DNA sequence: TCAGACATGTAACGTGTTACATGATTCT
DNA sequence: AGAATCATGTAACACGTTACATGTCTGA
């Protein structure tokens, strides 16, 4: 539902071909809205058909293998501006790891602590990456409106990673503690904790 | 990819019919993995066919309109336990509001601040709801393993809401500030900020 | 000329969403 | 008997993912 708008934004920032867009979705915009090249080509087709974008002129006939650059038309820009202000509720959380914690309550926590540790490492790496970008792109002041908004978005990413790191640390501690209890049970019999 | 496991977890906690599951997905489990009744019925069919669950016996012939309760079979429990420990990377963030901030950089922030305010109110309400649940279900100590894991999950929800509230507050301030700049531009001419 | 990178595209499938259809049960 | 509610189900479509197919361009 948001992909077309993500593409319009990217194209307004810089007219591009499908593959260039794909590359840009592997970083930058892709940090908070990822897409594969198949999705992007599919969506570019729809956007072109609806008159929101158009292919830049160039000698063409066989479309396959030929580079094709797109730019945003006024209609597309208007749609995007309308979407920015549109009333649209935030989506509820959807996180598989939380679900797994819940499942562990009924089938046991066997193997979960390792997975939590792994996620912790991944989130720490992601945080480091974001911090490096922040340092590089928003190091000193004198910021334009675009910069300030981009920095705001990046800060959301950073704080989200910080949240996960904090939560995963307490989860790991809790799981270790439960594991210790289970180990004690194995020695003394489960009745000791019941 | 996680829905079948969410359903297995719910059924292990308590054998249920499709509609009962749907209701439970409107709260509790649904707070971090939502699903509509159509998804649930579809998935129940697949799970039954694969031998992970079975319908509890009862006089039947026409399946329509008749209540049908399911319980988890050993094979289903084993699959769930395996999933709990499985290596599975966290999904990258996918948030439309962040995308809208980014889009605002190219088409202007017109109307965005109101939307940010609205989201702020929604997240505050959600936080209040989670806090009430925490108070009610995890008020005093003496907690079983299941309780401790559930509380851990709830705390993730609570801290996530707190993160959003904090971030949205700074976003609102930033947008107000940009708006003030734009208003000044309107009086003095854009060159004043360029 | 042929390998490798660039570039666009098809096909098939799984999951999520919306709208609608149908039957059973309960209460008035 | 009719309305409301409970309960299961179909159909169609949108979006996301994976695998594969096809064509072009560049340099060894």
DSSP state of A91: P
pLDDT digits (tens, 9 = 90+) for A104-153: 999 999 999 999 999 999 999 999 999 999 999 998 877 899 999 999 99
**Residue B186: what pLDDT?**
61
Nearest-Cα distance to chain A for B60, in Å, is 30
**Residue A193: what pLDDT?**
46
pLDDT digits (tens, 9 = 90+) for A28-79: 999 999 999 999 999 999 999 999 999 987 655 567 778 999 999 999 999 9
Residues of chain A with Cβ-Cβ distance to B74 below 8 Å are none
Across the strands, what pairs with B71? B54
User: Inter-chain contact B34–A152, Cβ cutoff 8 Å?
Assistant: no
Residue closest to A25 by CA, chosen among B28, B185, B38, B92: B92
pLDDT digits (tens, 9 = 90+) for B51-61: 999 998 765 55
Q: Is the pTM higher than 0.85?
A: yes
- Angle at Cα B173 formed by Cα B172 and Cα B175, nearest 5°? 65
- Give the tokens for residue B67: 């209540």
Closest nt to residue A67, judged CA to C1':
C7
Query: At how many degrees (to 10) do helices A112-138 and B74-85 cross?
Result: 40
**Residue B178: what pLDDT?**
86
**Residue A135: what pLDDT?**
95
Helix (H) or strand (E) holding A55: strand A53-55
- Give the tokens for residue B147: 């309780």
Q: What average pLDDT does this structure show over B172-188? A: 77
User: Inter-chain contact A93–B145, Cβ cutoff 8 Å?
Assistant: no
The sign of the dihedral angle between the CA atoms of B147, B153, B159, B162 is negative
Residues 6+ apart with CB under 8 A from B31: A92, A93, B130, B157
Residues 6+ apart with CB under 8 A from A8: A47, A52, A53, A72, A76, A77, A79, A80, B103
**Residue A35: what pLDDT?**
96
Residues 6+ apart with CB under 8 A from A94: B32, B33, B34
Specify the long-range contacts of residues B14-22, CB closer than 8 Å, at least 24 apart.
B15/B56, B15/B69, B15/B70, B15/B71, B15/B72, B16/B69, B16/B70, B17/B67, B17/B68, B17/B69, B17/B70, B18/B44, B18/B68, B18/B70, B19/B67
The beta-carbon neighbor of A146 closest among B92, B105, B170 is B105
Helix (H) or strand (E) holding B72: strand B69-72
Alpha-carbon torsion angle A177, A181, A182, A183, nearest 10: 100
pLDDT digits (tens, 9 = 90+) for A175-193: 998 877 666 665 565 554 4
């Amino acid at each position: 539902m948001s992909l077309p708008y993500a593409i319009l934004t990217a194209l307004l920032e810089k007219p591009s071909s499908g593959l260039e867009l794909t590359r840009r979705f592997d970083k930058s915009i892709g940090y908070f809205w990822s897409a594969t090249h198949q999705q992007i080509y599919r969506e570019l087709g729809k956007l072109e058909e609806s008159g929101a974008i158009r292919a830049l002129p160039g000698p063409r006939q066989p479309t396959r293998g030929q580079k094709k650059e797109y730019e945003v038309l006024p209609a597309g820009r208007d749609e995007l501006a309308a979407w920015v202000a549109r009333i649209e509720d935030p989506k509820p959380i959807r996180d598989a790891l939380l679900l797994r914690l819940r499942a562990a309550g009924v089938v046991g926590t066997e193997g979960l602590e390792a997975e939590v540790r792994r996620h912790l490492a991944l989130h720490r790496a992601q945080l480091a990456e974001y911090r490096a970008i922040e340092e590089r792109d928003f190091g000193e002041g004198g910021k334009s409106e675009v910069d300030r908004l981009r920095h705001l978005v990046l800060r959301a990413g950073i704080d989200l990673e910080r949240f996960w790191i904090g939560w995963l640390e307490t989860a790991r501690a809790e799981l270790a503690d439960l594991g210790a209890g289970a180990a004690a049970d194995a020695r003394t019999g489960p009745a000791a904790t019941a």
